[in-house]
Each structure stands twice: as C-alpha cells, then as structure tokens.
Structure 1
Amino acid sequence: SVLSCVGNSADLRLVRTYIELGLPGGRKDFLMSERNQNDTFADFDSMTDRLLDEIIQYIQIYSLAISRISKLHTFLSLSGPHLGTLYNSSALVNTGLWFMQKWKKSGSLLQLTCRDHSDPRQTFLYKLSKKPGLEHFRNVVLVSSLQDRYVPYHSARIEMCKTALKDKQSGPVYAEMIQNILLPVLQNNDCNLVRYDVIHALPNTANSLIGRAAHIAVLDSEVFLEKFFLVAGLRYFQ
C-alpha cells in the first residue's frame, strides 16, 4: 500500500526501551496508549476523548493519588505533523492521503489536510494552534527529516516554507498557526525549544523513494534511536 496510517501501542516500544536503559533507577511510569489503535481514522476530538478516558482509567487502576500535574518536563515529537500535511511536496503521498480519506471517510486525515472547514481559521488545526499547551513544558524537542515525505519537514519543525510564503490565500493563515504555537513557547524563558534534523542511512528501495522509510525510522530504527538518545535525547528526560 502507498500509505499506512494505523498506529498501535507498540510503536514507541524502542523509545521506552532506550529511556529505561539510559536512565536506570528512579520511578518511571509509561502509559503505552491502546485506546485509539483500532480506529486511527476517527476525528481528533473523538480520539482525544478516548485517550483522556484511558489516562483516567490508568490512574484509577493503579490508585495513583494525583490532584494535579506539578510540571510537564519534556515534549518529544518524532516527525509529528504539527501543522498538518498542507504544502506536502510529494504528489504521490498527497494522492494517497486523498484516496485514504475518501475510502475510510477519515475525520483525522481531513483535519490533517486542513479541509475540514471552508474557513481555514475554523479548521481543527488552526483552532488547536490557539490553545495553550507547549509553553508549559520545560523542553520542547522536535525531530524531523527531509527524507520523510509523509510529514512535511516544516510541519514537523513548526516553521514556514517557501510554498506557504508564495500562497496569498492560505499562506497568511499558515503563518498565524506557527505564531500561535511558537510565540507562547518563545516568550517563556523557562521553556527550551530544540530542533533536531536527522539524516538516515537508508537502502535504495521503494519505501525510501516515497519517504515512508524515513518516516518510520524514527520509531523502528535501533541505530537511530540508540544514537539519538545517547548523544542528545536522554538529557531531556533526566
């Protein structure tokens, strides 16, 4: 298949492993979310509700006495589409996303392409960009790769791109989204924003050509994850 949009609770197993190996001792609880893995094509509001229910259930099952979260330490994003898939340079991936959205009637894919409302400022991602969140973390770590053709490089890094600058219609809205997300982060002196650009050593295959290999390498490449956490990543979880 051209696209694989289904995630599951095992996707971050290597991330968990290298954090545990790199930082032995102390108490670390990992919630490997399962609630949405059977329906990742639902809209993000529905998936958020299910995730929230899962977190509450986890707290209740393990009798965790939590009245509030005192601090949010590190937000690590591995090629996350923070600005959606707008301005993706891959025609093949864009076609695949369009086909999957029509076939699965996917609310999440519609929201990622910013086509869920005729007014771009009423789309899910735009409204989400105006909500507080990232500025409450001590570290915001964004990992991206130009070899990844599934998630646009600028979306993973939360920054402008040349195509958006030339787009007189949607470009200004795109710039507003970036400002909405980053301004609170940059204004908080206690919040550390870091971007990592990754170049993977990939075989010459069809998956590499369409950009899928680089997209999944941040999750399933032991070589990348071991080097990333040993050289840089672990410091943000200490």
Structure 2
Amino acid sequence: MFLYHFYKAKEAMLRELVFRGTLYSDLPYLASDHPYFPPEEDDTEFEDGIHLVVKHVVQTGNRSKTTDTFADFDTMTDRLLDEIIQHIQLYNLTIHRISFIGHSLGNVIIRSVLTRPRFRCYLCKLHTFLSLSGPHLGTLYSNSTLVSTGLWLMQKLKKSGSLLQLTFRDHTDPRQTFLYTLSKKPGLQFFRNVVLVASPQDRYVPFHSARIEMCRTALKDRTTGPVYTEMINNLLQPLLSAPNCRLIRHNVFHALPNTANTLIGRAAHIAVLDSELFLEKFLLVAGLNYFK
C-alpha cells in the first residue's frame, strides 16, 4: 500500500513539474558496480595504454596545489599543462585515452590547455570532458547582484586577472576578450563525450553559462548580446558537427540546508564536490558510462 501511494505521489509531482528527465529511483541498472576509476595493474583492457583522468578543481578565492585563482587564465593554463606533461613523463606513461573532470574555473583552464601546441599530440586521445559548474560563457549575465558585487570587489582588491576575464572586462572590444578568443579555438569537438553539469541553485556560475546556452538577458542586450550569441555558436557548432562527439547536459537540484551559503548560491556551487551523496549517485547512475 505504501508503494502505491509513493508512485501516485511521484506521478503527481512530475506532472506538476512538467519533468522531462530521469529520476534516480526509476533506473533499473547502474552505470557500474565499481565506482572507482583506477583499474587493476594487470587489467588486459589497458594493454594499449592507460586511460588518464585529469581532475582540475578551482574554487574562487581559494588556492589549490597548482592554481592561484587570482592569476589570469593563461598563467593557470601553463601550470596545468606543465603538471600533466610532467606526470606523463615522470611515470613514463603510455596514454591510450585522456579524460578531464573540471570544476568551476578549472573547466575554462582545461579548454585553454587543449589549444596549446604542446598538447596537440594528445588531441586524438581525448575521451570525456566532465564539466561541473563551469563558467564557459563567463559571469557577464549573472542573476545574482550580491555575487556579482562580491566578485567585482574581489577582483579590485586582489587584482585577479581571471575574474576580470570572466566578466569580459579584460578588453574594450568584447571580441578581443579571453573568453571570446578561446571560443573560436578548436577544443571540445575532439572529445567523444562533453558532459555539462549545471544547477539552477548555483549563483556563482550562471545556469546558462554552465550549460553553454543563450539567456534572456543576453537576447535583450543589443550591445554585447550579439557577441554572446557568436561565442555560443563558436563553441557548439564544431561540437555538434563532429560525427564522433556527443553533447550531454545534466541539471542538478540539491537538497540544501537553509544557510547563508545556500542563500548566495555558494552551497550549490561546491555541492558537486562536497556532497558524497551526489557524487555517488551521479557516477553510478550516469557518470561512469562516459569513462568506459
């Protein structure tokens, strides 16, 4: 009797939401029984080389091992590229596939790495790009005045090159800005899977920016809006035209506590990394499929 009421309530909820996705509880099979990437050393599947998975995490205002978030994107690109190449050379790795998992600014840095001449020999080995809350279109059309003001103050106080670039203020001509220039360079179309994970609860990175799609504010903006449209087309047209590349978008809704971090949207921004429940469900239900 309980299950009957549960399914009736769920059907009613989906009708009310006009939901077009798939619920975790509806899936009969998991993506994998083994939720970890490292294979056994003697796994014959990797006779032709390993599947190198590079995870690059950058949180605004924090420092990671290799990244100062107050530097500009070119500087952070050089650092990540150096680390990847040094790792491959240090362990004398034979690379069969390369996949990337990025969070926040890390996704832009990963896309920038793909454009560098030193990485060109690995383009044919690219497999999956899993983008978690990535500001691919910057933060120009943010829907949070509080966050926009905070990032502006941080940029002014810390002289952050990357935050300046995210808001298209690094050049007077928007078509000469870092993000627009990067959008014109080849990159995403070399992957087999481009997976964009976004949350409407995330106020740090606009929902449309993480999904690489148009927003209403840009449509009404007769000055920068057309440039924004061009940037979206620059990113998506090569990807959608590539015969062996597929684009997948996942929208995430988090159960978040009523805190200040939730109010300003930071909780949802970092939840894709901090929430073990989300990571477990996402990887087992869908995520690991993209790394096979």
TM-score (norm 1): 0.87
* CA–CA separation in structure 1 for the residues paired with 2:194 and 2:54: 20
Structure 2: gaps of 5 or more residues = 1-32, 44-49, 57-63, 96-119
Superimposed CA distance per residue, residues 169-226 of structure 1 (whole angstroms, 9 cap, x where no aligned partner): 0000000000000000010121110000110001111111100000000111011111
Find the partner of 2:134 among 64, 76, 80.
80
Superimposed CA distance per residue, residues 121-175 of structure 1 (whole angstroms, 9 cap, x where no aligned partner): 0000000000000000000000000000000000000000000000000000000
Find the partner of 1:129 among 173, 180, 183.
183
- 4+ residue stretches of structure 1 with deviation over 6 A? none
* CA–CA separation in structure 2 for the residues paired with 1:168 and 1:187: 28
Alignment of 1:173-188 (within 5 A): 173-188=227-242
Superimposed CA distance per residue, residues 53-95 of structure 1 (whole angstroms, 9 cap, x where no aligned partner): 1122112211235693342110000010001101001000000
Percent identical residues = 70
Flag the structure with higher strand content: 2
Say which one has the larger Rg. Answer: 2
* CA–CA separation in structure 1 for the residues paired with 2:144 and 2:34: 33
**Size of the alignment, in residue pairs?**
220
Query: Does the aligned pair in 1 maintain the 2:35–2:288 contact within 8 Å?
Result: no
Find the partner of 2:75 among 46, 49, 57.
46
CA RMSD of aligned residues (A): 2.0
* CA–CA separation in structure 1 for the residues paired with 2:54 and 2:207: 28
Query: Does the aligned pair in 2 maintain the 1:157–1:195 contact within 8 Å?
Result: yes
* CA–CA separation in structure 2 for the residues paired with 1:107 and 1:22: 34
Structure 1: gaps of 5 or more residues = 1-17
- Shift in CA distance, 211/19, structure 1 to aligned 2, threshold 3 Å: farther
RCO comparison, higher one (Cα < 8 Å, 6+)? 1
- Shift in CA distance, 105/168, structure 1 to aligned 2, threshold 3 Å: same
TM-score (norm 2): 0.71
How far does residue 22 in structure 1 lie from its aligned partner after superposition?
Answer: 6.6
Q: 2:92 maps to which residue?
A: 63
Q: Matched residue of 1:115: which SS?
A: coil
The answer to whether the aligner puts 1:36 opposite 2:90 as a matched pair is no
Q: 1:9 maps to which residue?
A: none
Q: 2:36 maps to which residue?
A: 21
Q: Matched residue of 2:121: which SS?
A: coil
